[in-house]
A = this chain, B = another copy of it.
């Protein structure tokens, strides 16, 4: 199932000068490229409610274009299979009934091959549409942008979900063989980079694509603050563990303490002690933990407890956004195909690892910006209705596309989630 990649414009739609048709092909084919290492059996399984089968991701992203683009903009469009609308809607209530989320792993049909046929069918119609409509209607362009960004989000989920699926197998299957990057030198000591307080504009101010939760741009007053110069490493986190971090209730949020007990957490996700040596399951295989890498697969609760233990705290999302303005938007993203966080490059100065590697938990609960109003209709269900009990994460991870992330980008997960690439950056003051 090796997928040919369009190489000229950069993988995964990176260049914004590409035509919509070119960008469409690149993003869509990159999804399939990420699935190349998988066998059909891998694509069916749902190991927990948060995880969806790869097959489902492949079909759902296709359904998105079919429903929100082809059905609206192509007169007389014939859906590939009317019944797929029920199977592959995720949560867009206003787009119709849908198959229950925890049951996604109960579907053997359509087969993986049939889903690829479905993708092909929709892709052909999308290409026709995109080539025919040289000057894209602005609503059409907006929906294609939304669809491609949506697809990129599911690319990230494909990787994190496949990691979870494979990790449940005692045989430790490898997603993609290969070495993990190391530097042979210790990461530099963490520095505290100081920022003045004041009244700042936050939110997306550019003229490209953005999600509605990044707007309206509004003013926010910050007290002076200091930011850790790099991510917290596995070595530092192991010190926390060895100091009884998981047994000291006074450093935990009340909910975190309960979650820790309920799930038996004693280490980050995917860690396992083999003969007294910490190993972890990675997309590159099961291997001893590299202590110089940033710690990953920690919940908000663990990130928060770690910060309290070390006498610091997590950043707010606005501190993060302001601080991120001083560094270029570069990092260990999915295009690097490391599929795993890597140690910080020694010798750097200022803020390192702000983008890529791991999503950084902030202490900000996910709330609407002043004046926020989701658009009416199904597409308005993208963000607003999740603004409750989740925390904002910033910066992207090894599974995020570099063309997908922004300084104002607000990811969000429940505080107990650990299956994403999530890590820790500290703040003070």
Contacts and interface: CB of A to CB of B under 8 A. Distances in A.
A168 B46 CA distance: 15
Contact of A171 (B109, B249, B365, B370): B109
A21 interface: no
A255 B389 contact: yes
Interface residues of A, number: 65
A40 interface: yes
Contacts of A253: 385-388
Interface string A241-276: 000000001101111110000000000000000000
Contacts of A256: 388
B388 A111 contact: no
A121 interface: no
A253 B254 CA distance: 24
Interface string A347-377: 0000000000000000111011011000000
B106 A45 contact: yes
Given A223-B371, A254-B386, A108 B415 contact: no
Contacts of A209: none
Contacts of A415: 388-389
A93 B385 contact: no
A138 to B, nearest CB: 25
Interface string A87-101: 100010110000100
A169 interface: yes
A387 B110 CA distance: 41
A325 interface: no
Contact of A108 (B86, B169, B218, B363): B169
A107 interface: yes
A91 B169 contact: no
Contacts of A87: 170-171
Interface in A187-214: 199
6 contacts: A41-B111, A42-B109, A86-B170, A87-B171, A252-B385, A363-B368
Interface of A: 39-45, 47, 55, 83, 86-87, 91, 93-94, 99, 103, 105-112, 165-166, 168-171, 173, 199, 218-223, 249-250, 252-257, 300-301, 316, 363-365, 367-368, 370-371, 381, 385-389, 415, 429
Q: 3 nearest interchain CB pairs?
A: A365-B365, A41-B108, A42-B108
